[in-house]
Structure 1
Amino acid sequence: MAKWEGKVRSSLTKANAHQIWPFFIDFFNFHKWFPTLSTCYGVHGTNGQVGGTRYCAGFSLPNEADQVSWSKERLVAVDHEKMSMSYEMLDCNVGFDSYLSTIKVVCGDDDEGCVVEWSFVVNPVEGLRYEDLLHKYQTGLDQTCNKMEDALLQNPI
């Protein structure tokens, strides 16, 4: 069966790429930004460095009624110059198998604004439609970027 591949994008107009990138590379603290993630912390390695592994939990994907979704994820690539990072899912209870995700923060014209791209490759997930998964990624990324912009407006760097 073919893998599901997807990419979503969110444009930011009130913050540039150099302001947004540090939020994403803070790999062990993504719960501060992702709307349905209640817990995220490091379980191995150094935050923001290849090999760093985190545990995440929240209500991002449906399981059984009211069951908390969780995953264990490892950072497998970081390119600070290109503001890109990739991570793989090591284990989870949401049915993801062979999961790899990449986040890129792309500079806007004249270093104003930016675009965040979030792509993923995963084996099809039983009980979930591809379109619904893509929609969840888009909604999550949009809300995350809005929260990051709001934080920067309240506390400029």
Structure 2
Amino acid sequence: MEQDSHHHQRWEGKVSARVRNVTKAQAWPLVKDFFNIHKFFPTLATCYGLHGSNGDPGCIRYCAGFSIPSNGPESVSWSKERLIAVDDVDFWLKYEIVESNIGFNSYESTMKVLSDNDDESNGCMLEWSFVVDPVEGLELEELVSKYRVAVQVMGQKFEEEIQSLEKKHIWTS
């Protein structure tokens, strides 16, 4: 992709959420489950794999059903996203949108699971950052706000998922 930086400034944003009572090791498989992010992402109706193996760099997912105001009430928002890199040691992944109807051009995003503090049993942090060309019909602050809400809800859903698995004795700390 050609960099066109002399014509416009790219948007960058970063949001995070504290996930209580979930260790980095427990949260990471949920983040890395690239084809099933709809389980934890608010307003995302569906997500499934189109190409490759789930969690392997190069795999592509299809996501649909999130709301972007400029699309109008009747249209379904969708994107095809390729996993670029995965780091199972430092718990991060990077992906890009390769095709969409939401106006995101040159979009790259990184999701990280970080230590909340020295006592990891107390929880972890989800961090979600992105770089994208300016999106018509949106302001950067509005987009960052949407991501902030999404990562907070994801964190809550991660807590609920781990709690449910622990009750079923599927996952032990």
**TM-score (norm: length of structure 2):** 0.88
2:157 aligns to what SS in structure 1?
A: helix
CA distance 1:134–1:87, shift in 2 (3 Å): same
Which residue in the other structure is 1:142 paired with? 152
The answer to whether structure 1 residue 81 and structure 2 residue 89 are counterparts is: yes
In structure 2, the residue matched to 1:32 is 39
C-alpha separation between the residues in 2 aligned to 1:110 and 1:44?
Answer: 39
User: In 1, Cα distance between the equivalents of 2:42 and 2:67?
Assistant: 9
Query: 1:110: how far off?
Result: 2.3
* Structure 1: 4+ residue segments shifted above 4 A: none
* CA shift for structure 1 position 102: 0.2
When the two structures are aligned, how many residues end up with a matched partner?
Answer: 157
Normalized per residue, the structure richer in strand is: 1
SS in structure 1 at match of 2:138: coil
For structure 1, which runs of at least 5 residues remain unmatched after alignment?
none
Letter aligned with residue 90 of structure 2: K
Q: TM-score when scaled to structure 1?
A: 0.97
Superposition deviation, residue 64 in structure 1: 1.5
SS in 1 for 2:113: strand
Q: State the Cα RMSD in Å.
A: 0.9
1:111 paired with 2:126, answer no
Distance 2:61 2:86 in 1: 15
Bigger radius of gyration among the two: 2
Determine if the alignment matches structure 1 residue 58 to structure 2 residue 68: no
Identity of aligned residues (%): 50
Q: Deviations over 1:81-123 (max 9, x none)?
A: 0000000000111100000000000023222210110000000
Aligned twin of 2:5: none
1:68 aligns with 2:76: yes
